[in-house]
Structure 1
Amino acid sequence: MKSFNFYNITNSAFKKLGFSCAFTFAIIASNTLAEDKLPTQFTDVTLDSKLKIDFEPVNDMLDANVFNMGPSRRVNAKRPRASMGTKLKRAISASTHNEANRFTYELIQKNNHEDKVTAIKLYLESIPAKTSLKQYNRAEQLAYWLNLYNITVINEIVKRYPRIRLKKLLTGSNSLLDEKLINIDGIELSLNDIHHDILYKNYYKNPLIIYGLYQGNIGGPNINKKAYTGKNVYRLLKANATEFINSNRGTNTDMFSELEVSSYYARNADYFPDFEHDLRSHLLQFADEKTSKKIDLADELTANINNWKVTDLYGSDRVFGGGTAPGAAGMLGSGADPSLTQKVMEDANMGKGVNLTDTQISRLRQLMKVRAKNIGNTSVTVNDLDDSEDDN
C-alpha cells in the first residue's frame, strides 16, 4: 500500500515532469483557439493506433490524494453542532454535504506541494510536442483531455485554497473556466475550449463526457482515484454517471410531482438539445429502480440542485471559536483506504505540527463513518470523539 505522500511519484515520473517543465516554459503562446474551427492537431485521429500516453504522474497524485466516498445512500446530514465557546453553527447543504469524493487540498498546502501539482500539469501540456495527439486513437485522446482538464482545475483550486465556495469561480462573466490557462503547441486553451469545443465536437456531443470533468465542488461529478486511460475511460465515465445520477447531487427523488436535478445539467444544456426530453432519456440509462420511477412519474424537471463547496477533506469548514485538539484525529481510521488517513494520523498524533480544530476533527469523523456505511465497511474506528454527533 502506498503511503500518503503523493509525492511518492517514481523517479521515471519525476524525470518526465522535469523535462516537461523546461519545455513548457520555453513555449511562446502565439495562437488562440478559433471559435468556428478547431486546429487540425486537436481534431485528427489515428483510429487503429496502439500508442499509449503515460499518465503515471497523474495516477500517482490521484491515488494518494483522492478519498473515495463510495456510492450515495441518499441520507441527509445533520446540522453540525456549534463549536465550543460559541452558539453559532455552520450552514450546510444537508442532502449533499457528505457526498462526492474528496481531494486533500489542505494537506497539499500544509506540505507546500503546490509546485508538484503545477509540474504534472506542465508535463501533460508537453506531451503533444513529443508525439502529436493525432497519432493516438480517440479513446487515448479522450483520456488525455480529461486528465489535463482535471489537473488544471485542481492546480487552480490549490492556488486559491482555502477558498470555501466555488460558485464565482465556475460561473459568471469572470469564470475560471474561460481563462486561457493551458498552452499546447503554442495554442492557448481555456477549460471551456476543451469542454465545449474539443470534446463536444470530437465525441459527437456524447453526454457521458460531462461526468469526466471535475469541477472542484461537491455538487459536480466525482474526481476518481485513477487517471483516465484509453483502456478505462468509458468504464470510468459510466461509473461516474451512475454514481452522480443516483445521488442527491444529481437527482432529488423526494419531490412529489417535480424532478429536481443538478444545475450542472443546465450548464451543459448544449449536450441536451431538447433539454427535458433528452435529459430524461439520458438519466434513465443509468438510474436505479427508485430513481427511474421518479423520472417516469415527474410532471416537470427543474435543474436547481447545487452545492458549491470545495471537495476538500476537512480544512475549509469555517470555525466559530473552539480550541485545537492535535491528538484526537490520530485515532481516525478507514480500513479500506488507510493511505489517506495515514498522513493525518502521522501529523496529528506524532508531533509533526498539525493542530486540528474540534470542527475539523468532527468533519473527518463524519466523512469516515459515512464512507464506511456507503462502501459497507464496518471496520472504521473512531476513538476519543463524542458519539452524539453522528451524521447518519
Structure 2
Amino acid sequence: MKVLSMLFLLSFVVFPKTALDSDAIQPKTAQKVNHMLWTNLLQKHVSNDGHVNYRGFKKDWPALKNYITILGKQTPQSNWSKPETLAYWINAYNALTIDLILRHDPVNSIKDIRNPWKQELWTLDDKTYDLDFIEHQILRKMQEPRIHFAIVCASYSCPKLRNSAYKPDHLNDQLDQAAKDFINDPKRNDLSENSIEISKIFQWFRSDFEQHGSLIDFLNRFADIEVSKNARIRFKNYNWDLND
C-alpha cells in the first residue's frame, strides 16, 4: 500500500525538460537586425549626394565594427521575408565595403587594394564572407536587379551610397528611388530618345536587367524620358576613384 501511495505522488511531480523533450530542442527564432546604428553612421558621414567622409568614418570605426558584430550575430534565417533578407545583405555589403576601405587606408581607389572583392575578412554566424560572394552568390540569386543601384563599391561611377539604411518595410520604395536616382543622373548615364550612353553596370549585369524584357524596357521603367526601343547603346568608361 505504501508503494502505491508513493507512485501516486510521484505522478504529480514536474521534472525539468531534458534535451530529448520536443520543446527543449526547438531552435530559437533569430532576432532581426535593427539597422539604426548603421543609419546613424551614414547620416553622420555620407552626404545627400553620396559622398563618403572616410576620415569621419575612421573616427567612428569602433561603432562600425559594432554594427558588423551585430550583423554577425543576427544573420538571415529561413523564416525571414525576402525584404528582410535583401535589406540585411544590402546593408551588410555597404558596411563591409566601408570597413574594407578603412582597413587599407589611405587608398585613392578600391582597386588599390589587392583582390578587394575576394578578401575573406568578415565572419557572420561562424561563416567567413567576402564581398564577391555576397553580391554574386546571395544578392544576385534573389532575382532583384535593383540591388545594383543599392550596393556601392566605394567608387565615383557607382550609384550613390544612400545615407540611411535599407529597411524591409520600405525596401521596394527605396530600391525604386535608388534606380531612379542612378538612371537619371547625368554623371552616370546620358539618356536621349534615340541614343544612350550608360554605365558599364548595365553591360556587366545585362542579364539581370533583361529578366522581363529588354535593357531599354528596364531603363524606361525609371527614366525621366522615353527611350526608343531602337536607340543606339554605348557604355561609359568606369571611374574607380574613391567616392569621397
Name the CA distance, whole Å, in 1 between partners of 2:208 and 2:229. 23
Return closer, same or farther for 1:181/1:125 CA change in 2, 3 Å cut-off. same
- Contact map agreement 2:39 2:163 (CA 8 A) in 1: yes
Q: 1:138 aligns with which of 60, 77, 82?
A: 82
Instruction: Output the CA distance in 1 between the equivalents of 2:207 and 2:122.
Output: 23
1:119 to partner: Cα distance? 2.5
2:144 aligns with: 206
Aligned-residue CA RMSD in angstroms? Answer: 2.6
- Match of 2:214, SS state, is helix
Pair 1:177 & 2:117 matched: yes
Contact 1:167 1:308 (C-alpha < 8 Å) held by counterparts:
yes
Tell me the CA shift for residue 257 of structure 1.
5.9
SS of the aligned residue for 1:146 comes to helix
Over 6 Å off, 4+ runs: none
How far, CA to CA, are the matches of 2:188 and 2:117 in structure 1?
Answer: 21
Tell me which residue corresponds to 1:118.
65
User: What is the match of residue 72 of structure 1?
Assistant: none
1:282 to 195, 214, 218: 218
- Residues 58-85 of structure 1 deviation map (CA, whole Å, 9 limit, x = unaligned): 111112111102xxxxxxxxxxxxxxxx
Map Cα deviations across residues 342-385 of structure 1 (whole Å, 9 max, x no partner).
xxxxxxxxxxxxxxxxxxxxxxxxxxxxxxxxxxxxxxxxxxxx
Q: Secondary structure at the match of 2:181?
A: helix
- 1: CA distance, partners of 2:72 / 2:234: 38
Question: Offset of 1:273 from its aligned partner?
Answer: 5.4
CA deviation after TM superposition for structure 1 residue 308, in Å: 1.6
How many angstroms apart in 2 are the aligned matches of 1:193 and 1:249?
Answer: 29
Counterpart of 2:176 in structure 1: which amino acid?
Answer: K
Q: How does 1:191-230 map to 2 (within 5 A)?
A: 191-201=131-141, 203=142, 205-230=143-168
When residues 229 and 206 of structure 1 are mapped into structure 2, their CA distance, relative to the original with a 3 A threshold, is same
Structural mapping, 1:372-391, within 5 Å = none
CA distance in 2 between partners of 1:154 and 1:67 (Å)? 15
Which residue of the partner structure matches residue 349 of structure 1?
none
Aligned length: 215
Partner of 1:263: 200
Q: Does the 8 A contact of 2:217 with 2:229 survive in 1?
A: no
Identical residues among aligned pairs (%): 22
Report the Cα offset of residue 265 of structure 1. Answer: 2.1
Amino acid at match of 1:308: W
| Mapped partners of 2:195, 2:204: distance in 1 | 20
Unaligned runs of 5+ in 1: 1-48, 70-100, 313-392
Offset at residue 302 of structure 1 (A): 2.0
Matched-pair contact (CA < 8 Å) for 2:216–2:229: no
Asked whether the equivalents of residues 42 and 163 of structure 2 are also in contact (C-alpha less than 8 Å), the reply is: yes
Aligned pairs (5 A) from 1:202-351: 203=142, 205-253=143-191, 258-272=195-209, 278-289=214-225, 292=226, 295-296=227-228, 299-312=231-244
Structure with higher Rg: it is 2
